[in-house]
Amino acid sequence: MKISHSSFVQRSSSRHLMILSILFITLFIPKLYAQAEQKNDQKTDQQLIDVKRAISKQKTSIKQVDSQRKKLTQQLKSDDLAIANIAKALNKTQQQLHTNQERIQSLKLQQQQINKEKKQQELILAKQLRAAYSTGHHDYLKLIFNQQNPAKVQRTVTYYQYLNDARIKEITHYQKTIAKLTDVVIEQQEQQQQFQQLKSKQEQQKLAFEKNKKQRNKTIVALKKKLLNSKQKLAKLENEEQSLVAALARIAKLSKQTVNLNGLSALKRKLSWPVKGRINRSFGSRKQGYLKWKGVLLAAPIGKQVKTIHNGTVLFADWLKGYGLVTIIDHGKGYMSLYGHNQALLKSVGDRVEIGEPIALVGQSGGQSKPALYFEIRHNGQAVNPKLWCR
């Protein structure tokens, strides 16, 4: 069988094309794959570098935020302490004003009573003078030398002596009354002057208080701008709670030295709350993540007196991160009560306090946006529900 020339050429061309295709696949496709893989590797490496850069940048940002928050927290402590000092001084001034006003009122009553006595004495003296006048214009020496009726003279002289003694006595009494009245008037003037000085001092303290309050508000606003995510908030609260636990552990050693305290075990549902107010946060309710409230948060007006729930000894009185100005009182037998977010502390470490005695003033220290009292009761270091003790 003969093969045509054209058919031969076609077959030869097909064979060459196949060979060229095989050569192309063998020689060039691997290079293309290698180039593609190289590009993908380069892209992956670049992505990895970008991710590392982003992580590094985020870490740097977090460190900066943490550093700024630490500085702002320290500033908040300074602001709270400045407000506490002024609030404590202002509270003392108000008490002095109250005492001063009571003294002024007492002096006014004394003045009224002395004036009443003075008028009565003046009436008596007037009667005595009228009685002396009504006996006639007798010359004392003339009566003595008149020997016509010695008995009558003796009676008249005795009567004159009686009237004179009575008059001298009333005059002396009257002079003492006038002196007493003068002393009362002088003291009243001094008290009024002191009152004006105290009022002026109070106004200056109020201005200083408002100035520090504005500074504190700026600090809180700055802190709020450093927003935290849920995880960071949880870490912050964990850190604050650890600080509290550490403080309680330190003072637990001191509580063992306290004597003559019988604890709170026999006083369930018999104690009064440290302040009267609505419970904004209940014991055991969720705080953040797995953390729960170890005490209660009581809403109360700023500056209201915080009173100790029972007799005890002050073991801690200072600023604590997350809780502001805190007072901790040992009641004996492992029982302690804690009072936080105060505006000012009225007692110092080592002071003995009696049930119902003022120990602090309600505030919003520690970064609180509204005035409230944080209150805990602990037994052997463990937080217990305050509702079981207070009614």
pLDDT in tens, the chain (391 residues): 444 555 544 555 566 666 666 655 666 666 666 666 666 656 665 666 665 666 566 566 666 667 777 888 888 888 899 888 989 888 888 889 889 889 888 888 888 888 888 888 788 778 777 766 665 555 555 555 555 556 655 665 566 666 667 777 778 877 888 888 888 888 888 888 888 888 888 888 888 888 888 888 888 788 777 656 666 677 777 777 888 888 887 777 666 655 578 899 999 999 999 999 999 999 999 988 888 999 999 999 999 999 999 999 999 999 998 899 999 999 999 999 999 999 999 999 999 999 999 999 999 999 888 999 999 999 998 999 999 999 8
What DSSP designation does 273 have?
P
363 contacts 83 by C-beta, under 8 angstroms: yes
pTM of the predicted model, to two decimals? Answer: 0.62
| Rounded Cα distance, 87 and 212, in Å | 11
Domains assigned to the chain:
66-225 (1.10.287), 230-388 (2.70.70.10)
328 contacts 315 by C-beta, under 8 angstroms: yes
For 44, how many CA atoms within 13 A lie in the half-sphere containing its CB? 6
| CA distances from residue 34 to 27, 46, 47, 238, 381 in whole angstroms, order as listed | 12, 18, 20, 53, 68
What tokens does 3 get? 């093969």
Longest Cα–Cα distance in the chain: 210
What DSSP designation does 260 have?
S
